[in-house]
Amino acid sequence: MACAAATLMAGILTTSGAGRFAAVDAAVRSSATITVGESASATAVTVHPPPRLPERMVARVAAVPGVARAVGDIAFPVTAFDSQGRVLSARGADRTEAHGWSSAALTPYSLVAGHPPLDAEQVVLDARLADHDGLRVSEHVRIVTPAGGREFRISGIATSDGRGDPGQSALFFSDPAARQLGGASGQVNAVAVFSPPGVGSSALQSRSVGRWGRG
């Protein structure tokens, strides 16, 4: 009789690599594996996306020697529309993810117009997303999130200058709004780790593996 068991390790420390975490030295993520079957016939299946981590992990990571700063990352899929009801898209991207503004530092994204989102009614758009659809600061867009769809005012436009994931465009809410809209109250998708000069990801691995495990 087939059975399924889930194994979750909260806190797998990995090097950041390229992509959306290009500016960080390491990242802590959860890992979920489901084993289906028994004995030699068992098959390991990776669950995607991985489960979120409790937000208290941010403080635990920040307390590790050699960590200069730890940032809790929230990520969730969204669909954005312009005032004519057309889906916003960035050239070369097949999806759009939303984050809290704190996550802009992970790539990094920097503002080229406007200001960060200051309240739950504002959003910053990826410049690729804004440019492709001719959007400007102070215009309104409708965004569908896991919490539903409504209008937001564009407070700023940010660029990653070619860094990040080319297949993904981004937009940024205020951190409190991202937690509410993404259904992430008390949780984060990952913890991004910044180390001071002279402390690389390998040193962070050796100092942290006893606490969370190695990815």
In one letter, which amino acid is 83? Answer: S
Q: Which two tokens stand for residue 132?
A: 């492709």
The first and second tokens of residue 96, run together, are 């759009």
Closest CA to 115 of 125, 107, 105, 106: 125
* Pairing state between β 4-15 and 140-145: unpaired
Q: From CA 93, how far away is CA 47, in angstroms rounded?
A: 23
Distance CA 139, CA 91 (A): 20
Q: What is the DSSP string of 11-38?
A: EEEEE--SGGGTTSSEEEEEEEEEEESS
The total number of residues shown for the chain amounts to 215
77-105 pLDDT, tens digit each: 999 999 999 999 898 899 999 999 999 99
Tokens of 18: 């390229």
pTM of the model: 0.83
In 3D space, the residue among 25, 108, 115 whose CA is nearest the CA of residue 70 turns out to be 25
Enter the tokens of residue 94: 């097949």
Average pLDDT in the chain: 84
Asked if 12 and 30 count as a contact pair (C-beta separation under 8 A), the reply is yes
pLDDT at position 215 over 50: no
Q: Which residues share a beta bridge with 124?
A: 156, 172
Measured CA to CA, the distance from residue 144 to residue 80 in angstroms comes to 6
Banded model confidence at residue 190, pLDDT cuts 50, 70, 90: very high
pLDDT in tens, 140-157: 999 999 999 999 999 999
More confident residue, 90 or 122: 122
pLDDT of res. 45: 76
Does an H or E element contain 210, and which?
A: helix 201-212
Name the more confident of 162 and 3: 162
* pLDDT per residue as tens digits for the range 41-62: 778 777 777 789 999 999 998 9
User: How many Cα atoms occupy the beta-carbon half-sphere of 204 within 13 Å?
Assistant: 30
Sign of CA dihedral 105, 108, 112, 117: negative
